[in-house]
Amino acid sequence: MEPVSEEPLPPAETLISARSLVEAGRPFAAHEVIEARWKAGPAQERDLWQGLAQICVGLTHAARGNSVGALRLFERGAARLEEYGSGGGPTYGLDLSAVVSCARNRMGAGG
Protein backbone atom coordinates (compact mmCIF):
# COMPACT_ATOMS: atom_id res chain seq x y z
CA MET A 1 0.00 0.00 0.00
CA GLU A 2 1.04 3.52 -0.69
CA PRO A 3 2.35 5.36 2.39
CA VAL A 4 0.71 8.60 3.44
CA SER A 5 2.60 11.88 3.53
CA GLU A 6 3.88 13.06 6.87
CA GLU A 7 3.30 16.65 5.76
CA PRO A 8 0.22 18.17 7.42
CA LEU A 9 -2.69 18.97 5.17
CA PRO A 10 -5.03 21.91 5.74
CA PRO A 11 -7.85 20.96 8.16
CA ALA A 12 -10.61 20.35 5.59
CA GLU A 13 -8.27 18.32 3.37
CA THR A 14 -7.16 16.32 6.42
CA LEU A 15 -10.75 15.31 7.09
CA ILE A 16 -11.40 14.39 3.45
CA SER A 17 -8.21 12.34 3.21
CA ALA A 18 -8.78 10.59 6.54
CA ARG A 19 -12.36 9.71 5.67
CA SER A 20 -11.37 8.24 2.32
CA LEU A 21 -8.64 6.18 4.01
CA VAL A 22 -11.09 4.83 6.60
CA GLU A 23 -13.56 4.00 3.82
CA ALA A 24 -10.74 2.19 1.98
CA GLY A 25 -10.10 0.05 5.06
CA ARG A 26 -6.96 1.93 6.11
CA PRO A 27 -7.83 3.47 9.48
CA PHE A 28 -4.22 3.51 10.70
CA ALA A 29 -3.18 5.52 7.64
CA ALA A 30 -6.07 7.88 8.45
CA HIS A 31 -4.65 8.19 11.97
CA GLU A 32 -1.28 9.22 10.49
CA VAL A 33 -2.88 11.93 8.34
CA ILE A 34 -4.78 13.26 11.37
CA GLU A 35 -1.70 13.05 13.58
CA ALA A 36 0.27 15.24 11.17
CA ARG A 37 -2.50 17.87 11.38
CA TRP A 38 -2.66 17.72 15.20
CA LYS A 39 1.10 18.18 15.56
CA ALA A 40 1.10 21.15 13.16
CA GLY A 41 -2.14 22.75 14.32
CA PRO A 42 -2.91 25.20 17.08
CA ALA A 43 -2.91 23.89 20.65
CA GLN A 44 -6.58 24.78 21.12
CA GLU A 45 -7.52 22.24 18.41
CA ARG A 46 -5.50 19.40 19.92
CA ASP A 47 -8.50 17.57 21.41
CA LEU A 48 -10.27 17.59 18.03
CA TRP A 49 -7.40 15.99 16.16
CA GLN A 50 -6.32 13.65 18.96
CA GLY A 51 -9.88 12.45 19.45
CA LEU A 52 -10.25 11.67 15.76
CA ALA A 53 -6.86 9.94 15.69
CA GLN A 54 -7.80 7.80 18.70
CA ILE A 55 -11.01 6.69 17.01
CA CYS A 56 -9.03 5.70 13.91
CA VAL A 57 -6.63 3.65 16.04
CA GLY A 58 -9.68 2.11 17.73
CA LEU A 59 -10.90 1.03 14.30
CA THR A 60 -7.46 -0.49 13.66
CA HIS A 61 -7.62 -2.46 16.91
CA ALA A 62 -11.17 -3.62 16.13
CA ALA A 63 -10.10 -4.84 12.68
CA ARG A 64 -7.25 -6.80 14.29
CA GLY A 65 -9.55 -8.44 16.84
CA ASN A 66 -8.36 -6.44 19.86
CA SER A 67 -11.79 -5.47 21.19
CA VAL A 68 -10.47 -4.31 24.59
CA GLY A 69 -8.01 -1.89 22.97
CA ALA A 70 -10.64 -0.75 20.49
CA LEU A 71 -13.18 0.02 23.21
CA ARG A 72 -10.64 2.03 25.21
CA LEU A 73 -9.66 4.12 22.21
CA PHE A 74 -13.25 4.68 21.08
CA GLU A 75 -14.07 5.96 24.58
CA ARG A 76 -10.98 8.17 24.82
CA GLY A 77 -11.59 9.60 21.37
CA ALA A 78 -15.29 10.21 22.01
CA ALA A 79 -14.51 11.91 25.34
CA ARG A 80 -11.93 14.20 23.70
CA LEU A 81 -14.37 15.15 20.97
CA GLU A 82 -17.10 15.90 23.49
CA GLU A 83 -14.70 18.07 25.47
CA TYR A 84 -13.59 19.87 22.33
CA GLY A 85 -17.18 20.35 21.16
CA SER A 86 -18.16 21.98 24.42
CA GLY A 87 -15.54 24.68 23.83
CA GLY A 88 -16.98 25.93 20.56
CA GLY A 89 -13.78 25.54 18.52
CA PRO A 90 -13.84 25.09 14.75
CA THR A 91 -15.01 21.69 13.49
CA TYR A 92 -14.29 22.22 9.78
CA GLY A 93 -17.73 20.96 8.81
CA LEU A 94 -17.45 17.81 10.91
CA ASP A 95 -20.54 16.80 12.89
CA LEU A 96 -18.85 16.00 16.19
CA SER A 97 -21.99 14.63 17.82
CA ALA A 98 -22.40 12.17 14.92
CA VAL A 99 -18.77 11.04 15.24
CA VAL A 100 -19.15 10.61 19.01
CA SER A 101 -22.40 8.65 18.51
CA CYS A 102 -20.73 6.43 15.93
CA ALA A 103 -17.78 5.72 18.26
CA ARG A 104 -20.12 4.98 21.15
CA ASN A 105 -22.24 2.71 18.95
CA ARG A 106 -19.07 0.78 18.06
CA MET A 107 -18.40 0.45 21.79
CA GLY A 108 -21.88 -0.96 22.36
CA ALA A 109 -21.34 -3.44 19.53
CA GLY A 110 -18.18 -4.73 21.18
CA GLY A 111 -15.71 -2.96 18.90
**CA 87, 91, 96: angle at the middle one, nearest 5?**
80
- The residue ranges of every structural domain in the chain are 11-108
| pLDDT for 1 | 67
Strand, helix or coil for residue 18: helix
| pLDDT for 105 | 87
| pLDDT for 90 | 95
- pTM score: 0.92
- Is the pLDDT confidence value at 108 over 80? no
> pLDDT tens digits for 64-87?
999 999 999 999 999 999 999 999
11-108 is classed CATH 3.50.50.60: no
| pLDDT for 64 | 94
